[in-house]
Amino acid sequence: MQSWKMRLPNGRVRDFFISAGYSFVVVFVLDTKGRVVILKQHYIGQHKKLVSLVAGIIDENEKAGKTARRELLEETGYAAKRFVYLGKSIKGKYSTGDIHHFLALDASKVQESELEDTEDIEVQAVTMREFKKLLDEGKMPDAFAEVCAYRALEYLDNKESSSLATRSLRSKFPRERKFI
């Protein structure tokens, strides 16, 4: 916590307590079989294991995309063929640091996890139906993981809709046909 003296837009000067923190990444992972890779990890502040997604602090002078790849490998032992940046969000009105959301596609296990001594993580791959049920039932209570999950699902739904529309158009208008 830091104490900041701030001049507000209305000209008043006030003291605020700001939670100064790091920027970090959250990664929604789909493996090569279309399953969602989830974590069950100990949340120190909650005193229990919770379902979550891959996440980690962005090291100094490191790009968010590199952090996403590194954390995926360290926490799960998986590597992904493709990453999609889903945007960023903030932690809140009285906090510093950004949260960068990623979707990792075509992930596969390439090594064992390399956990830090403070991490207690179990890795599981669940079907999309099982994941959506966990999400709908509030069994993934980490707000940043939840935001990332919904962004990833929206991206995947839009991609699938777009793909279906393209296939439909192609069936109606084969590639051989030339349009003027």
- pLDDT tens per residue across span 145-177: 999 999 999 999 987 665 545 454 455 444 443
CATH number of the domain residue 102 falls in: 3.90.79.10
The band of 90, judged by pLDDT with boundaries at 50, 70 and 90, is: confident
Instruction: Tell me, yes or no, whether 38 lies in a domain.
Output: yes
Contact in structure between 103 and 72 (CB atoms under 8 Å)? no
Contacts of 176 (CB under 8 A, 6+ apart): none
Instruction: Tell me, yes or no, whether 138 lies in a domain.
Output: yes
Number of domains in the chain: 1
Per-residue pLDDT tens digits for 7-38: 888 998 888 777 778 899 999 999 999 999 99
Contact in structure between 107 and 83 (CB atoms under 8 Å)? no
Instruction: Tell me, yes or no, whether 91 lies in a domain.
Output: yes
Instruction: Tell me, yes or no, whether 75 lies in a domain.
Output: yes
Contact in structure between 68 and 144 (CB atoms under 8 Å)? no
Specify the pLDDT at position 163: 54
CA distance 120 to 98: 24
What is the extent of the structural domain holding 37?
23-166
Instruction: Tell me, yes or no, whether 5 lies in a domain.
Output: no
Instruction: Tell me, yes or no, whether 52 lies in a domain.
Output: yes
Instruction: Tell me, yes or no, whether 143 lies in a domain.
Output: yes
Instruction: Tell me, yes or no, whether 72 lies in a domain.
Output: yes
Specify the pLDDT at position 161: 62
Q: Report the predicted TM-score, pTM, of the whole model to 2 decimal places.
A: 0.82
